[in-house]
Amino acid sequence: MADYDVFNGDADGICALLQLRLAEPRQSALVTGVKRDINLLAKVDATDGDRLTVLDISMDKNNQALVSALDNGAQVQYFDHHFPGEIPQHKNLDATIDTDAEVCTGLLVNKHLNNQFLPWAVTAAFGDNLHTAARQAAQPLQPNDKQLAQLEELGTLLNYNGYGATIDDLFFAPDKLFETLLPYPDPFDFINSDGTFATLKEGYASDMANAKAIGPHFDSADCAMFVFPHASWSRRVGGVYGNELARDYPDRAHALLSEIENNAYQVSVRAPINRREGADELCRQFATGGGRKAAAGINNLPHSEIDNFLSAFQQQFAS
Ligand SMILES: [Mn+2]
């Protein structure tokens, strides 16, 4: 019998697991990857009596592996806020799924744990670009402006670390990052005493400066699309830069294309902050697309599909 913690490699996935493992320590095998690597459950060969905790990855995309783990006799605890498809009815499954656009997995786990590690849940919400929800969730902590800004920066940096085509693009492999954070029940202690924070902060600043030097490939009142070159900084920064643009232009949708190998692009889409829907609908029109209403992506968009994408993007977000 073995324990597996299966979690998205972004801020939300990591901060969700942190809360659970601070509350209930376990020697579990960590199964994770870059933020986009969401077919994680298939990597676990689950057998009778295993305990699986699954966080922040779409149940729809992991349905087959989930059903076979359950049928093999594994107990599965699942928290997520992505499109779940049909949720299997199984006695071994304990699922908390909420696709509300103002909810993230870290907040769902926080509710389950009755606010025990609330600052980490607030960090998760900032990481998923849910700034209003993060501030609301933080109220019981009565944080001052500096503390809120620190949690916002930490969430942004942990989220930023998850972006890349492969683990090699990242500053820290998400499983190692989780292990680095685990000794800190209080994120402020991590910020003040661990060099990891400074490394991410410097990397982020440098990548963002590169991103801001590139103008839009297309822009209108409703949407803007940016195309980034084939470089690891562009694969890292696309998602977080998209989040910043989304906040700066709340009525506009954004698409960021970063060139990956074989003349293809990785795409991040952000719905307008003031109308948080349609990003998933747009991305699911393409073979490797998926995500949430507010934030979605396409893993591999061939160069020949760029024009198709641009017109579908404009159509999706026309006001
Ligand atoms: Mn999430």
In the reported structure, the alpha carbon of residue 106 is separated from the centroid of ligand 1 by a whole-number distance in angstroms of 7
- Give the pLDDT band (50/70/90) at residue 319: confident
Per residue in 248-271, pLDDT tens? Answer: 999 999 999 999 887 999 999 999
- Give domain limits for the chain: 3-200, 214-316
Taking the centre of ligand 1 as the mean of its atom positions, its distance from the CA of residue 230, in whole angstroms, is 26
pLDDT greater at residue 81 or residue 244:
81
* Ligand 1 midpoint to CA 242 (Å): 15
In the predicted structure, residue 97 carries a pLDDT above the cut 90: yes
How far from 100 is each of 107, 122, 165, 279, 289, CA to CA, in Å?
11, 16, 28, 14, 20
How far does residue 36's CA lie from ligand 1's centre (Å)? 11
CA of 15 to the centre of ligand 1 (A): 10
What architecture is domain 3-200? Alpha-Beta Complex (3.90)
> Using CA of residue 135, residue 139, residue 140, residue 143, what is the dihedral sign?
positive
Contact, 19 vs 110, CB < 8 A?
yes
17-41 pLDDT, tens per residue?
999 999 999 999 999 999 989 999 9
Cα 304 to ligand 1 centre (Å): 30
Q: Enter the pTM of the model.
A: 0.87
Q: 81 CA distance to ligand 1 centroid (A)?
A: 7
Report CA(58)–ligand 1 centroid distance (Å).
Answer: 10
Ligand 1 centroid – CA 260 distance (Å):
23
| Span from the CA of 70 to the centroid of ligand 1 (angstroms) | 23
As a CATH number, domain 214-316 is 3.10.310.30
